Amino acid sequence: MPLPSSIADLSTTAGSNSPAGSESPALIDDYLRTYASYIAQLRDYPGRLLNVQTFTTTGTYTPTAGTNYIEVEVIGGGGSGGGCNATTASNASTGGGGGSGAYTKSKISSGFSGQTVTVGLGGVGTTPNGANGGNSSFGALVVAAGGLGGLTAGPTTASFAALGGAGGAASVTGNLINASGTAGDLGLFLTGAAANSPLGGNGGSGFFGGGAPGNVNAVGINGSGPGAGGGGAAAGSAGSARNGGNGSAGIVIIKELC
């Protein structure tokens, strides 16, 4: 093919690009300069991803040189699962799962350098009711609420359900996505079930998953994905008080583009 006039003239098949073996060696310099200009175009192409900075703890954002705008994803901390109360013979107590943190995404083209990045902590499992997760934020520009802790029910011999914590409320700060977190599942005990089979509620899964499963007659399981809820605890007949599982800390992900 002749000397390309634009980058669109290039083929993805190497052998289909110039120079061909029959062309004059005098054209080699023109080809080299042309291809070098296309490489520079790719380097300077608007919207090219430069770097990704991920915050799992609170800090300050310093942009990579050449960053013209950023896309910020923020997830609040997950709530812990509800704990359970101590029980007597034939009684049961359970906790609902913790809610996951909200998810917010925003594109920002100015005022982003030096912003404080806050990563919300996960709620710490306790007894009886679970603890809420903390809010995560990129300054005041992008905010995501933490999930709520699961509640405790019992002890009693009657069937009951322990309420899961609500997911973090959707923000209004994102100009791309504002999504609420996922509520934790109910903790359950059914009359007539085996005395040692109360079930804690599952923790709500965050945007990247990881909600903890509820446990049977045991302490709650910790959430694993960013902003995920902890699982509820449960105690059957003559059981001890137990803590719900911890919620996971949130996260802030910053994609830097030229």
- What tens digit of pLDDT does each residue of 10-60 get? 676 766 676 766 666 666 676 666 666 666 666 666 678 999 999 999 999
* pLDDT at residue 146, as a whole number: 98
Q: What is the pLDDT of residues 62-87, one digit of tens each?
A: 999 999 999 999 999 999 999 999 99
Q: What is the pLDDT of residues 214-236, one digit of tens each?
A: 999 999 999 999 999 999 999 99
Scanning the chain, the segments in alpha helix (DSSP H) are: 28-43
Could you tell me the two tokens for 65?
Answer: 């040189």
- Which residue is associated with the tokens 């004059």? 24
* pLDDT at residue 90, as a whole number: 84
Could you tell me the two tokens for 57?
Answer: 């703890």
The region of weakest confidence among 41-55, 176-190, 244-258 is 41-55
Q: Residue 89: pLDDT band by 50, 70, 90 thresholds?
A: confident
Amino acid at 163: L
Closest of 186, 160, 187 to residue 91, by C-alpha: 160
> What residues does each domain of the chain span?
7-43, 46-258
What integer best gives the mean pLDDT of the chain?
90
Structural element, H or E, at residue 29: helix 28-43
Name which residue leads in pLDDT, 1 or 177: 177
* pLDDT at residue 43, as a whole number: 64
Q: Is the pTM of this model over 0.85?
A: no
Q: Residue 200 in contact with residue 217, Cβ under 8 Å?
A: no
Number of H helices, E strands in the chain: 1, 14
Rounded Cα gap, residues 222 and 132, in angstroms: 14
